[in-house]
Amino acid sequence: MSHTRLLSAALALLLLAGSGCVSEPPEAEYFAGRLSVSGDTVRLCDCATGRTHPVVDNAMRDEAVTRYEKIVNDPPRTIVMACKGQLTAGRPDAPDSLRIDRLLSLGSDDSDRFLLVGFYECETDSHHKILHLKPDRTFLLTVFDENHENMTSGRWSQTSELELILQSETSPLLRFEILPNHETLTGNNSPNAETVFRKVYL
């Protein structure tokens, strides 16, 4: 067999192997919450925001319901589901729907969680910062120094259970590690300086 045919055969095998890989769209985000099934109604109460989202009907929802029914003998009990997916806007008077792109886990939940939405404060030698994570997954970051007040807004999301990112058109992407036990966000987004945001209750 010629080198050209060997190369073509190798490429074909790689394409076939890749087609079976489980993947999600690049814009997919991490969600974890309490899954409830009642008849044809499937909902996820998002642990990060406290909001309840109807789950869009697709193959991944069918798989989640099948696994739910194997675990739960007496609906409408709830169990915890983690997934990668996307929110799609509903009507103005209706909650956003969640489309599951990939199931990560389904079952009992032994991890420590806390409601991510709320206010966080960070104190440094030269700045006072307030971060507001809002239930609609937008944020407002206010930085105070001696003479100025700078505000940055954008969107927050999770890439995993313990990583939060802040995306804004006016500033670089910011990454934070979530420390549930301490209700704290930590990040190394500045050279030689760790940023620590602690949740505050007003």
Show the tokens assigned to 79. 């169990």
In the CATH hierarchy, which top-level class contains the domain 27-107? mainly beta
Fold (topology level) of 118-200: Lipocalin (2.40.128)
From 21-25, 36-40, 54-58, 159-163, the region with the lowest mean pLDDT: 21-25
Each domain of the chain, given as residue ranges in start order, spans 27-107, 118-200
pTM metric for this prediction: 0.82
Q: Mind listing the pLDDT tens digit for each residue in 57-115? A: 999 999 999 999 888 877 667 799 999 999 998 777 778 999 999 999 998 876 778 89
Within 8 A by CB and 6+ apart from 113, the residues are 32, 47, 180
Q: Mind listing the pLDDT tens digit for each residue in 145-195? A: 878 899 999 999 999 999 999 999 988 899 999 999 999 999 987 766 789
